[in-house]
Structure 1
Amino acid sequence: MPIKQLLINQLVACCNESSWFVCYSDAVKNLTEEEACMKPSSPEHSIKEISYHLFYWNERYLKRWKGEQVAENALPFAETFHLPAEASWEEIKHNVIQIFSEWIDELQNCDEQQLLEQVAWSNSTWSDEISYLTIHSAYHIGQIVTARKRQNSWKNEYGV
């Protein structure tokens, strides 16, 4: 399988097609604002905070991919979980799904050679970076499912 199709498959699995793990769309299905904001304990992040963190990093890398300017220094890691005051749960959830969809569209329309190019900030290629992005996303989607199970807002019909 060409690397381009592999990465598209990984992004689709993260966004909206549950398979070996629950996709983001299913992980947040029927989740209320109140449930999205719950924190089991102080050092843990809420589902809304985790979702914002996913949006922050996936959007940052998408902008880089498109050749758009991003701030030289990313926010300190912990701050990428801090929510903008005006952001609703529905808006954040929509943004995460939208950024996954944009990534999928970008890869469907790219030249496979672009995936083999080295990125400017490391010794990695774009295919490496996008692969890490999907692994990072899957990790946090798992956190969301675990948080929902702890708060009893998870239904087995949503996935494993």
Structure 2
Amino acid sequence: MKDRKELLAAQFAACTNVPNWFVPLEQAVKGLNAEQAAWNDVPGANSIWSIVYHLTFWNERYLVRFNGNTPTDQVENNDVTFDVSNVDITEENWNTAVNRLMSSLLDWQDAILQADDAKLDSPVIDGEKGEWWDTIANIAIHTSYHIGQIVDIRKRQGSWNQQ
């Protein structure tokens, strides 16, 4: 039977690069170019690139907090975390965006496995309800939700070829 740390790390592995009940991010973006990643067929909806940007922001932010540091970047509202309007649409920038998100997901796996039970049971914010183990599980759920959106967008644009 897996313990809590192994379960949480397995959730992040499923989101990152281990196929399970849904395709992991690695497979969801495989073969996708910058133009396809920036594509949007619905005004006001998110592109794949904006979803990757959003996931990177939140995964990195919470990982910084989990590691005992204070995030330096602040946002006015969640919409800002999807904003890629100032990003040059190049293959290099797209690859950098994907690699950064993949790195944060792999870093989460390492951090979870290195944490002790006291850390997992500690509050996310001192003096408030909400322990790290529960928040980490929700971060994985949040990531898997958006991976599903990526696959849906690829299906709509005709770029999905389940590998």
TM-score interval for Structure 1 and Structure 2 normalised by the shorter chain: over 0.9
Distance (whole Å) between structure 2 residues aligned to residue 125 and residue 109 of structure 1: 17
- Structure 2 residue 91 is matched with structure 1 residue 90: no
Report the Cα offset of residue 86 of structure 1. Answer: 5.1
1:62 deviates by: 0.2
The one-letter code sitting in structure 1 at the alignment partner of 2:87 is: A
Structure 1 unaligned runs (5+)? none
TM (normalized to structure 1)? 0.92
RMSD between superposed Cα atoms in Å: 1.6
How far off its partner does 1:73 sit? Answer: 5.0
Q: Distance in 1 between matches of 2:88 and 2:111?
A: 29
1:96, CA displacement in angstroms?
A: 0.5
Structure 2 equivalent of residue 114 of structure 1: 119
Q: In 2, distance between residues paired with 1:68 and 1:74?
A: 17
Alignment of 1:31-42 (within 5 A): 31-42=32-43
Q: CA deviation at 1:71?
A: 4.3
Counterpart secondary structure, 1:156: coil
1:143 aligns with 2:144: no
Q: Which residue of 1 aligns with 2:19?
A: 18
Match of 1:105 among 107, 110, 113: 110
Structure 2 CA distance for aligned equivalents of residues 51 and 27 of structure 1: 11
Aligned residue identity for 1:131: A
Matched, 1:55 2:51: no
Q: How many residue pairs end up in the alignment?
A: 157
Counterpart-to-counterpart distance in 2, 1:25 and 1:73:
28
What is the CA–CA distance in structure 2 between the aligned matches of 1:144 and 1:69, rounded to whole Å?
Answer: 30
Q: 1:24 is aligned with what amino acid?
A: L
TM-score by length of 2: 0.90
CA distance in 2, matches of 1:36, 1:85: 12
Identity of aligned residues (%): 36
